[in-house]
Amino acid sequence: MSRQAVTKHLRVLSEAGLVRSNRRGRERVWDLEPKRLADAHRYLDRISRQWDDALHRLKKFVEE
């Protein structure tokens, strides 16, 4: 993966609030935002359960 691609991905993650950066001299150090990651995880779990429920209902309907 190119340095430019990594920078682009980190910028997107930063805009989503999942990481933050700090300048340390000439370098930029990136840190994860654990609370925001936990929020995203909970959201994705909820969406996953909704899909599982919908697919279960569809399967039940089709099999009847």
pLDDT, mean of residues 20-41: 94
Which pLDDT does position 63 carry in this prediction? 96
Name the DSSP letter for residue 18: S
Chain-centre distance of CA 62, in angstroms? 33
pLDDT at residue number 57: 97
> Which residue ranges make up each domain of the chain?
1-32, 34-64
Tell me the C-alpha distance between 24 and 34, whole Å.
21
- The pTM assigned to this predicted structure is 0.63
